[in-house]
Chain A
């Protein structure tokens, strides 16, 4: 495990019995105990994740809005102070460089300023692309990559809001869904947002490295009442899959466009400003001009689909599984994958997944697989 970075919470994970594994250049907790148990803790109680490997890039200055409008298909002008939105950084051929959340910060001076939370594996790529385009377009913006100085803690699950209240932030003072605010939690200065990657209600807390350990332990301490557990990356993966959220590098890459990845819902067709890949993206918004599209499916038996398994229809290869596994809260096996647009991507379409040289039936289903109202 040479050259792997450790978050300031490394010792806390080891103390909690985590199995540490390399992930995107970091040594991260895969699981502390049973993955299924961790998954169900987030679905039914509350869980705490260390996702400090993720990147934080701040963008401010006179032309920050114009600049962001150029680099993402989303319409950033719609963000009021404190509001967040899911979007993608696209290249000139409309390929997805990364997917991210852009937060417009509440505390602003003369011009709006923004926080971009990006994937750990893409920090450098994103930062270089952003810097390059700032210079290339002579934008009057400041770009500040703060990834190394912050920790990101994620509190997710139905008891998140009660727990955050117990940590000093009244229900009325908590950020609303998909918003962010600056706050003090037991005199620790944080950015707290109502976002996550699990499909549950939850918060993500950006905290300075030096305050991370004390905050982590305080959350676990106050969370005992709600039977909180630390949650590893393995359950983070099953949770996001059950909610049909895509994983960069697996379900999409820089050769995939947002409409191909079934992300057209995050591309407003009426946005006036030009952005990278606009022409191609718009030409695909109605499902035309593309050869493959992402779908969600469930297995009709108990075989488990996995990354890179082949998808067939009527004995013909029609696609590839990109993510697959069990859905612990639903007790079925599910997957995401790409199929050729020559076959219908409609709900109910029957497919076969090739698993160890045998074919197992599956059908296309609605995404997300899991929604909160399914909780028992």
Chain B
């Protein structure tokens, strides 16, 4: 799984990732989140042009069992949504970092990502959380 994770992604404690590419950033959910959710059966995404603050819910991902909110890793404007997911929500399961991305944003402030974690750091965070639960 790890080898499919793109370099330079940043992850949140609520299990979104963000991949910044100059003035645009791609947002999705992490492989850990996908694993926890199981089969994704419905994805609700915002309208292009809408703006959201950091930490605000921008959509919903539904698995067989439940509906989960997805949150902005940084504030910004929706530049593009992954329209294919309306017909093929399972792409989130199959390929969360490439074909299963959720939204692309512009007009974000890089400094809002200071508390986001690099993937290695995120892995450590997950492990420490697991230990806490035991």
Contact = CB atoms under 8 A, between A and B. Distances in A.
Interface string B52-86: 00000000101011110000000000000000001
Contacts of A202: none
B39 interface: yes
A71 B65 CA distance: 35
A304 interface: yes
A306 B64 contact: no
Interface in B23-47: 38-39, 41-42, 44
A306 B60 CA distance: 14
A34 B60 contact: no
Contacts of B86: 302
Nearest to A31: B38
A304 B65 contact: no
A238 B41 CA distance: 13
Contact of B39 (A36, A302, A303, A306): A36
A302 B42 contact: yes
A310 to B, nearest CB: 15
A294 B64 CA distance: 23
Most buried by B among A303, A304, A356: A304
B64 A35 contact: yes
A35 B38 contact: yes
Interface string A283-315: 000000000000000000011101000000000
Contacts of B60: 356
Contacts of B67: 304, 306, 356
Contact of A304 (B38, B39, B41): B41
Nearest to A302: B42
B77 to A, nearest CB: 22
A325 interface: yes
Interface residues of B, number: 12
A326 interface: yes
Nearest to A307: B66
Contacts of A325: 64
A303 B64 contact: no
Contact of B42 (A34, A238, A304): A304
B117 to A, nearest CB: 25
Contacts of B41: 36, 304, 326
B90 to A, nearest CB: 9
A125 to B, nearest CB: 26
B42 A35 contact: no
B40 to A, nearest CB: 10
Contacts of A238: 64
A303 B65 contact: no
A36 B64 contact: yes
Interface string A26-40: 000001001110000
Interface in B98-118: none
Nearest to A19: B38
A54 interface: no
A166 B65 CA distance: 35
The 10 closest A-B pairs by CB, nearest first: A35-B64, A36-B39, A326-B41, A304-B62, A304-B42, A34-B39, A35-B39, A35-B38, A234-B65, A302-B42
28 contacts: A31-B38, A34-B38, A34-B39, A35-B38, A35-B39, A35-B64, A35-B65, A36-B39, A36-B41, A36-B64, A234-B38, A234-B65, A238-B64, A302-B42, A302-B86, A303-B42, A304-B41, A304-B42, A304-B62, A304-B67, A306-B66, A306-B67, A325-B64, A326-B41, A326-B64, A356-B44, A356-B60, A356-B67
Interface of A: 31, 34-36, 234, 238, 302-304, 306, 325-326, 356
Given A35-B65, A302-B86, A326-B64, 9 more contacts: A35-B38, A35-B39, A36-B41, A36-B64, A238-B64, A304-B62, A306-B67, A356-B60, A356-B67
